[in-house]
Copies of this chain bind each other. A is one copy, B any other.
């Protein structure tokens, strides 16, 4: 992008970084009860400051209307009583999660007599860059706080007043729990150079989490001078094997596509083994069409059923996030896995089969952040997996893969306990 940065925005962001680093040292050893108290205090304030939040949000909505923000963004930008309640509930939910920090695992005696184990520790300072939804400010703050990290948050400039009001509640809540106010800071300016300045802050920010559209994520990956926990495409597949139970196949394939269209774990492409294509699709095709799902299929499927449009090569590489499904008939497991490797995005892929060796192969051989047997891809989610909360879903392999909860914002250091032991 080659954004020309103003010296003042750079020094502003640098100052946030310094303060965050200092706060992170205190947060790293903060007691669980203090962190949980802060979460509760923030929740209380969000509800108590309801009027302030709504009037700040009204200013953002007014400017949004003026600048002609599109309807979907206006919807995400809006706060109301329900959404404020959800933010408060989210904070309290994070307070109920176990504290990952300080946990010592695998403490074992070594032949030399020392005990060696690992202790879970925070990463330090987390930078989160997101778009219009102001509730992310509270959600992200909660996860960083509970995992003993400091956070620097950069929300969309269209939500600046809302984020400022939420940040004030967070600061007050931290102070009430006697935790450093700088543990959660927002970048409180509409200056577009702020993101570039944050991404350059290698010495003060340990990891960046971009949450938003593909453009944002690609920019962050390209420019960040520190590690990034990111989510790219979700081109998810369901493969219906010829040894599938037809009822399970129909249930899983229908749910994976239609339970929600706009989510990253929604199936975008259905693969069906040739030997069961007719009986399975005979049931599924009318269900999809009735539901308003457009089907774009291979030649073979189009010869079998009416109402299927032609799929192009590009269709198989597309994350529709819409009521559109690509469909392909394959010879069997190998061709299905080949298709997934070629066209998929390593997000979430599921096989429907009753056959144990095939299930075992699919789980082992498919290189995706979630691999499933006889289950809807829609289950790929931090809450469904029992993480309690989710920072995002990582499509990387390094550090964290798949849904990232509190643990993804931590690391482990080694702990050695001896009794005067020396190395021979």
Contact = CB atoms under 8 A, between A and B. Distances in A.
Interface of A: 25, 28-29, 102, 108, 110, 112, 114, 116, 119, 121, 123-124, 206-207, 227, 245, 247-248, 251-252, 254-256, 259, 341, 350, 352, 359, 363-365, 367-376, 378-380, 384-386, 397-399, 401-403, 411-423
A124 to B, nearest CB: 7
Contacts of A385: 110, 116, 414
8 contacts: A112-B379, A248-B419, A369-B413, A371-B416, A374-B419, A398-B398, A401-B412, A401-B414
Contacts of A110: 384-386
A374 B417 contact: yes
Nearest to A373: B417
B29 A380 contact: no
A119 B121 CA distance: 23
B416 A375 contact: yes
Given A206-B398, A248-B420, A386 B29 contact: no
B416 A370 contact: yes
A56 to B, nearest CB: 35
A317 to B, nearest CB: 16
A295 B358 CA distance: 66
A385 B411 CA distance: 17
A338 to B, nearest CB: 11
Given A108-B386, A401-B412, A363 B119 contact: yes
Contacts of A375: 114, 416-418, 420-422
A422 B259 contact: yes
Given A28-B367, A112-B379, A420-B252, A413 B386 contact: no
A399 B398 contact: yes
B372 A418 contact: yes
A119, A350, A417 pick with most chain B CB within 10 angstroms: A417
Instruction: Give the secondary structure class of A's interface.
Output: mixed
A416 B380 CA distance: 9
Nearest to A229: B398
Contact of A421 (B254, B376, B412): B376
A416 B265 CA distance: 13
B376 A414 contact: no
Contacts of A386: 108, 110, 116
B371 A423 contact: no
B422 A376 contact: yes
Contacts of A368: 413
A256 B386 CA distance: 44
Contacts of A254: 422
Contacts of A259: 422-423
Contacts of A123: 397-398
A126 to B, nearest CB: 11
Given A255-B422, A379-B418, 7 more contacts: A248-B420, A256-B422, A371-B415, A375-B417, A384-B423, A397-B411, A401-B414
Contact of A124 (B124, B363, B373, B397): B397
Nearest to A363: B415
A420 B374 contact: yes
